[in-house]
A and B are shown apart, each in its own frame.
Chain A
Amino acid sequence: MTIEVNLRVNGVDHAVEIQPHESLGRVLNGRLGLNGVRISCKEGECGACTVLVDGEAVTSCIMLAVQAGDRDIQTIEGLGTPDDLHPIQQAFVDEHGFQCGFCTPGFVMSSKALLEATPHPDASEIAEGLSGHICRCGTYPNIIRAVQRAAEELGQEATNE
């Protein structure tokens, strides 16, 4: 049995035939070819597959694709481009907020949700806010610095606007 569901991903509608048990992450990565949606633990523990659904960070490996129908899904692919990085992405580059980079899209997406809810978090709030993610390389201090730097940058942009 398949179901047709409309997935609005990074502002573009995709009508996809899915099986009811398929996870959002599997459809985004496997069907829509979104390389930055990283499926690893499949139990919502590592955070690598995090995407935003209606602005909220979710682990897409344990959300059913049907639950995301007609909702606004944002993945790392919808953030910045190589020539025009989002300030959070740029801050991760500048602060070396990663090593192997496997967990990075998830951290970046959660950071975006975090900064929208809490524009000026302190280090503890950032650490707590990102505690759903694992960076096995152990780059947390520089991830925290990257989010602090991004917060300053985004605050500056908001002031300029």
Chain B
Amino acid sequence: MSEQQDYRIIGKAIPLKDAVDKVTGRLKFSGDIRVPDMVHGKILHSPHPHARITGIDIRRAESLPGVLGIVTHQDAPAWEWENCWHNYGGRILDDRVRFVGDEVAAVAAESVEIAEAALELIDVEYEILEPTFDPIESLAPDAPQVRAEGNARPPTEVIWGDLDSGVEMADVIVDASMAFDSQAYAPIGRNACTAQWEGDRVTVWTCTQTPSEMRDAIARGLGVPISNVRVISQPCGSSFGLWWIGSLQLITVLLARKVGRAVKIGLSQEECFATVKRRHLERSTGRLGVKRDGSVTFIDLEHVHDNGAYGLKPDVGFLTVDLWGAGPHGRFIDRGVSTNLVTAGCMRGVGDVTMGAFVERLLDMAAVEIDMDPLEFRLKNHIRAGDPLRAMEGETLDQMDLASLPDGWPELGKLDGEALSDCLIRGAEAFGWNEKWTGWGKPSAIDGPKRRAVGVATGVHSCGTEDEYPVSALVRVHADGSATLHVSIGRQGQGSETTQAQIAAEALGIPIDRLIVQAGDTDAAPPSHGAIASNTSYRTGFATWDAALDAKRQILETAALQMGSHAPDDLDMRDGVVFSPSDPAVSLTLEEIMSTYRPDSMTPPMILGRTSTPMPPSMMYARYFAAHFVEVEVDIDTGEIRLLDYVATQDSGTVLNAKVLENQVIGGAILGAGFALTEHLAFEPDTGRILNPGFLDYKVMRAPDFPLDPGVLFGDSHDPVGAFGAKSGGEAPTTAPIPAISQAVYNAIGVWLDIPMTPERVLEALGKI
């Protein structure tokens, strides 16, 4: 249960720290960066899906007036780089191209126009290789192999109990398969990278969610010490996982070094859509058994995801297995496969959007068979506090010594809290589920060709994941009592600078407007895990909280030393004023403390709070949940699906800022609903080229397409580890829309559809086309 706390800042829906810059248009995005003496770069992309470069002649391009230099694979180090969790890996530029749009070369010139003209003058000879596009066909050993490692990644398996027993126990077994097209990140902002070398030091301005990781990759790839690389992360608009590290930055750095000038490469809309990353193409098959009383006896699921050209992921995440792992028997298998399509990578809610939707479909099909209300069915089967987290079973946590973790951490490997039932029950009440639910496959209203019905579904995601980076933060307190929080999380706009500031200011005990956040300058911020995998509120939040408490401890020690009358333990600070709970006479402002010399050294105080408490491995125990309710109207003549009403509930632990979380929850719901209904990349069959690389042909939701006043409710929980009890926020809300809408569509028209559920698919399923 939530603790009643007298928080000054936590829980307040304060405006974003950079709100005024945003509404006045003053915020500088990565494309707005200009440095003195800067020139412009453009990238040459491959027209072929799979080919070897047998010759590349840059002489004509080099001789074009205004061209300063060109890089090709001959300039690139032999080194291969890799994102965390194998999202992407490869050479900066290679002598082999693996998708239409792969990078071949880059030109630096006095203007964008000259650079573009020079691209036309680069003569490339290709030896065409056989491509492969279909995820299942690409698994075959005799398929064209995209990478030296082969196409098929080793399967990732989570198995518990004994499937045969699960089959024996079941009264009803359902089986199904489901296909997911690929969703585009479809960023509205376009990233750019500006790189400036000074001697053997380089400064890079770009948008990245992972500034520390990018800095280290540049250092390794370009062969300079980490100390010589400075990454300053800029905003560039919504990211959703698109902007980690990419060829954009590594090519820009390489090109800038070669031409000896600062170089800026800005990507076009088409390049953002078609040459960076996208969500995986995924295929699920499986079966599920239930007893007549509605208890699940087993889940058996096989999943395949395509990694595109440079993705390397063995699995897309297994958190959905935790949500439905309470049953006694189960098997989840996922395998990744390379194809000659643009690279696939982690996109918001990765894995749980797709596998979650498929498991929910199996649940629904089983509930249809035993005629149980989907709400009741979920309440009966979802994970409860104390249940094992299956995704972690059998994992080898070789770098962790669990026995050495501090006392008081939750029992690892089991769910620590229980708020999903609360989300389901209160959400159902707000939505009016009991009034609107009319039974499986029965529309609640029919009006001419229009069929109305409702659906409910759930979703889950991790509260961050460990990798080779720790989470860490620094809090510097200045002479006037103001403070700066340094964290390495980038600036994607999801409100995390504001929520991190709220955590730091509350923990430190100063007003929020006395603290600013530097969210991605690697010369100042300590190395840290970036804003990925729902890390920020939970894991970075913990690091920020710990660093702020460290700064506060130093302040109170300093104040005690200066006063000479009270022990640090007898002091506290709130609103920037140090006081003593036992002595009302004590009142010292932080500015007074910071501007008074320490008696032991006769120097001004130096306050630098740092993260020193290691965070326990949150993947072992921390999850956050979503439950969404939707009413749809399907037109059986046009195939169009409209969303009429929506209620989204979420258990994110303590709510740090209700408006920030509300925007994350509804924004996630809209992203998920867009994928459910319209969003899909169209690949040209023979080449894999993306046919709809822009908003003209790739349809995302606009204001009228989603219910105008959706309900949002937050679960009543308090995480035992997260800062002030907060968990994560941004990815779980993308997971529930597809199954909720899909279930409602079934109830309206009696068919189960692949994703997205386009009008064409609706009409096909109804036998109308």
Which residues of A does B touch, CB under 8 Å? Answer: 34-38, 40-43, 45-46, 48, 75-77, 79-82, 85, 89-90, 92-96, 98-105, 108, 123-124, 126-128, 130-131, 133-144
Q: Are A126 and B694 in contact (CB under 8 A)?
A: no
Q: Does B769 contact A (CB under 8 A)?
A: no
With A136-B237, A142-B663 given, is the CB distance from A46 to B15 under 8 Å? no
Nearest to B658 among chain A residues (CB) is A96
C-alpha gap A149/B666 in the complex (Å): 20
Q: Are A98 and B23 in contact (CB under 8 A)?
A: yes
With A102-B29, A127-B708 given, is the CB distance from A144 to B238 under 8 Å? no
Nearest to B665 among chain A residues (CB) is A138
B 657-678 to A, binary, CB cutoff 8 A, 1 in contact else 0: 0011011101111110000000
B 681-719 to A, binary, CB cutoff 8 A, 1 in contact else 0: 000000000000011100011111010111000000000
Q: Are A124 and B23 in contact (CB under 8 A)?
A: no
Residues of A within 8 A of B668 (CB): 138
C-alpha gap A102/B189 in the complex (Å): 6
Residues of A within 8 A of B404 (CB): none
Q: Are A76 and B25 in contact (CB under 8 A)?
A: yes
Q: Which of these, B22, B492, B700, contacts A104 with CB under 8 Å?
A: B22
C-alpha gap A127/B643 in the complex (Å): 14
Residues of B within 8 A of A138 (CB): 663, 666-671, 701, 706
Q: Are B704 and A127 in contact (CB under 8 A)?
A: yes
Q: Are B667 and A99 in contact (CB under 8 A)?
A: yes
Q: Which of these, A102, A105, A124, contacts B237 with CB under 8 Å?
A: A102
Q: Does B21 contact A (CB under 8 A)?
A: yes
Residues of B within 8 A of A35 (CB): 25-28, 32
Residues of B within 8 A of A131 (CB): 702-704
Beyond A101-B23, A131-B702, A139-B663, list 19 extra A-B contacts (CB 8 Å): A38-B25, A38-B189, A43-B269, A77-B25, A81-B24, A82-B24, A99-B493, A100-B493, A103-B188, A104-B25, A108-B23, A124-B708, A131-B704, A134-B695, A134-B702, A136-B188, A137-B238, A142-B659, A142-B663
Of A42, A46, A92, A99, most buried by chain B (CB within 10 Å of CB) is A99
C-alpha gap A1/B568 in the complex (Å): 75
C-alpha gap A135/B700 in the complex (Å): 9
With A85-B23, A96-B659 given, is the CB distance from A141 to B695 under 8 Å? no
Q: Are A41 and B667 in contact (CB under 8 A)?
A: no
Q: Are B269 and A42 in contact (CB under 8 A)?
A: yes
C-alpha gap A41/B186 in the complex (Å): 11
Of A38, A89, A140, most buried by chain B (CB within 10 Å of CB) is A140
Q: Are A130 and B26 in contact (CB under 8 A)?
A: no
Q: Are B703 and A140 in contact (CB under 8 A)?
A: yes
Q: Are B189 and A100 in contact (CB under 8 A)?
A: yes
Residues of A within 8 A of B187 (CB): 136
Q: Are B694 and A43 in contact (CB under 8 A)?
A: yes
Residues of A within 8 A of B701 (CB): 138, 140
Q: Does B190 contact A (CB under 8 A)?
A: yes
Q: Does B388 contact A (CB under 8 A)?
A: no
Residues of B within 8 A of A98 (CB): 16, 19, 22-23, 493
Q: Are B710 and A141 in contact (CB under 8 A)?
A: yes
Residues of B within 8 A of A95 (CB): 659
* CB of B56 to closest CB in A, whole Å: 30
Q: Which of these, B13, B21, B237, B708, contacts A96 with CB under 8 Å?
A: B13
* CB of B320 to closest CB in A, whole Å: 22
Question: What are 23 A-B interface contacts by the 8 Å CB criterion?
Answer: A35-B28, A36-B24, A37-B25, A76-B23, A93-B19, A96-B15, A96-B16, A98-B16, A99-B493, A101-B22, A101-B23, A102-B29, A103-B237, A108-B23, A127-B708, A133-B702, A134-B700, A135-B188, A137-B663, A140-B703, A141-B666, A142-B659, A142-B662
Q: Are A123 and B709 in contact (CB under 8 A)?
A: yes
Residues of A within 8 A of B495 (CB): 99
* CB of A2 to closest CB in B, whole Å: 14
Q: Which of these, A100, A103, A140, contacts B492 with CB under 8 Å?
A: A100
Of A45, A102, A105, A144, most buried by chain B (CB within 10 Å of CB) is A102
C-alpha gap A103/B703 in the complex (Å): 13
Interface size on B, residues (CB 8 A): 54
Nearest to B20 among chain A residues (CB) is A82
Q: Does B530 contact A (CB under 8 A)?
A: no
Q: Are A136 and B696 in contact (CB under 8 A)?
A: no
Q: Does B513 contact A (CB under 8 A)?
A: no
* CB of B206 to closest CB in A, whole Å: 15
Residues of A within 8 A of B130 (CB): none
Nearest to A142 among chain B residues (CB) is B663
With A43-B694, A77-B24, A81-B24 given, is the CB distance from A140 to B235 under 8 Å? no
Q: Does B494 contact A (CB under 8 A)?
A: yes
Q: Which of these, B29, B238, B704, contacts A99 with CB under 8 Å?
A: B238
Residues of B within 8 A of A102 (CB): 29, 188-189, 235-238, 493
Q: Does B125 contact A (CB under 8 A)?
A: no
Query: Which 7 A-B pairs have CB atoms at the shortest separation, nearest pair first?
Result: A36-B25, A100-B493, A101-B22, A138-B670, A138-B667, A102-B237, A76-B25
Q: Are B189 and A140 in contact (CB under 8 A)?
A: no
* CB of A76 to closest CB in B, whole Å: 4
* CB of A59 to closest CB in B, whole Å: 11
Residues of A within 8 A of B429 (CB): none
C-alpha gap A35/B667 in the complex (Å): 25
Nearest to A122 among chain B residues (CB) is B708
* CB of A124 to closest CB in B, whole Å: 7
* CB of B704 to closest CB in A, whole Å: 4
Q: Which of B4-60 contact A (CB under 8 A)?
A: 13, 15-16, 18-29, 32
Q: Are A41 and B695 in contact (CB under 8 A)?
A: yes
Residues of B within 8 A of A82 (CB): 20-21, 24, 26
Q: Which of these, B24, B662, B710, contacts A89 with CB under 8 Å?
A: B24
C-alpha gap A38/B22 in the complex (Å): 12
Q: Are A130 and B703 in contact (CB under 8 A)?
A: yes
Nearest to B712 among chain A residues (CB) is A141
B 179-195 to A, binary, CB cutoff 8 A, 1 in contact else 0: 00000001111100000
Q: Are A139 and B20 in contact (CB under 8 A)?
A: no
* CB of B430 to closest CB in A, whole Å: 15
* CB of B711 to closest CB in A, whole Å: 10
Nearest to A76 among chain B residues (CB) is B25
Nearest to B672 among chain A residues (CB) is A138
* CB of B499 to closest CB in A, whole Å: 12
Q: Are A45 and B493 in contact (CB under 8 A)?
A: no
Residues of B within 8 A of A34 (CB): 25
Nearest to B240 among chain A residues (CB) is A136
Residues of A within 8 A of B28 (CB): 35
C-alpha gap A75/B26 in the complex (Å): 12
With A80-B24, A136-B187, A141-B708 given, is the CB distance from A101 to B671 under 8 Å? no
Q: Are B189 and A40 in contact (CB under 8 A)?
A: yes
Q: Are A93 and B23 in contact (CB under 8 A)?
A: yes
C-alpha gap A32/B364 in the complex (Å): 58
Nearest to B498 among chain A residues (CB) is A96
Q: Are A40 and B269 in contact (CB under 8 A)?
A: yes
C-alpha gap A153/B156 in the complex (Å): 57
C-alpha gap A92/B492 in the complex (Å): 18
C-alpha gap A41/B659 in the complex (Å): 29
C-alpha gap A89/B448 in the complex (Å): 43
C-alpha gap A131/B268 in the complex (Å): 23
With A100-B492, A136-B237, A138-B669 given, is the CB distance from A93 to B700 under 8 Å? no
Residues of B within 8 A of A94 (CB): 15
* CB of A62 to closest CB in B, whole Å: 11
Of A40, A99, A101, most buried by chain B (CB within 10 Å of CB) is A101
Residues of A within 8 A of B188 (CB): 40, 46, 48, 100, 102-103, 134-136
B 261-304 to A, binary, CB cutoff 8 A, 1 in contact else 0: 00000001100000000000000000000000000000000000
